[in-house]
């Protein structure tokens, strides 16, 4: 009799497990983290005459990304994107610069094809632009140097009117995160020429 009761209880437990009527609590569904990173233009610098003299002027642009997630983020990277720089006064004059992993200021952040960023950690990319548009035009040559003799801004140097440029950037960093867009940024450039 005791054996029959034990057998009946075991059968009831097995039936309950098999029918799935045991614990009704569901596990939470895993949701991929959203908004784990932001990118922005951190600095724009017109290089001085010693590094980029008149006729060969250049601009240095620093793009930064930051881990805005509350936890460290580690994933495989595929850094690719574009930076479009448009002359505000003549918007048909622009330069499109391809962004890749080689633009990282600290390449050691990527190890074995992966990059780890702790919360708040920043990575930077540096781009040098030679002031040429996509069609090869050296843009300072088309800036306003009227009344050249009155435009001296340094010994033997004349300056054009300041011109505004707009930077639009999109960047993919991690395989699991889509393309990121930086807020539009503007900077002012002053063309310089040698004067007599």
Residue 82 near residue 49 (C-beta atoms within 8 A): no
Residue 52: band (very low, low, confident or very high) from pLDDT cuts 50, 70, 90: confident
pLDDT attached to residue 137: 96
- Cβ neighbors of 8 (< 8 A, separation 6 or more) are none
More confident residue, 2 or 192: 192
Among candidates 191, 182, 163, 166, which has minimal Cα distance to 85?
A: 166
The domain defined by 2-194 folds into Immunoglobulin-like (2.60.40)
Percent of the chain with pLDDT over 90: 62
Residue 37 near residue 107 (C-beta atoms within 8 A): no
More confident residue, 8 or 2: 8
Residues 53-105: pLDDT tens digits? 888 999 999 999 999 989 998 899 999 999 999 999 999 999 999 999 999 99
Residues 140-156: pLDDT tens digits? 999 998 887 777 887 88
Cα dihedral sign for 77, 98, 167, 128?
A: positive
Cα dihedral sign for 44, 64, 85, 137?
A: positive
Residue 184 near residue 168 (C-beta atoms within 8 A): yes
Among candidates 181, 62, 41, 36, which has minimal Cα distance to 120?
A: 36
CA distance 105 to 152: 36
Cα dihedral sign for 95, 101, 107, 109?
A: positive
pLDDT attached to residue 182: 97
């Amino acid at each position: 009799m005791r054996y029959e009761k034990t057998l009946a209880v075991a059968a009831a437990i097995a039936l309950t497990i098999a029918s799935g009527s045991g614990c009704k609590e569901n596990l939470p569904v895993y949701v991929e983290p959203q908004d784990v990173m932001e990118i922005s233009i951190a600095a724009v610098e017109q290089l001085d005459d010693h590094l980029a003299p008149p006729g060969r002027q250049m601009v240095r642009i620093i793009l930064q990304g930051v881990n805005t997630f509350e936890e460290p983020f580690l994933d495989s990277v595929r850094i690719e994107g574009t930076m479009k720089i448009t002359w505000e006064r003549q918007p048909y004059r622009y330069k499109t610069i391809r962004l890749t992993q080689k633009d990282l200021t600290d390449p050691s952040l990527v190890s074995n094809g992966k990059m780890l960023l702790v919360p708040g950690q920043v990575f930077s990319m540096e781009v040098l632009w030679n002031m040429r548009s996509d069609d090869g035009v050296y843009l300072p040559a088309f800036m306003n140097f009227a009344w050249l003799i009155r435009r001296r801004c340094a010994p033997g140097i004349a300056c054009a009117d300041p011109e505004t440029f707009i930077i639009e950037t999109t960047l993919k960093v991690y395989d699991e995160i889509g393309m990121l867009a930086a807020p539009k940024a503007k900077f002012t450039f002053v063309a310089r020429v040698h004067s007599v």
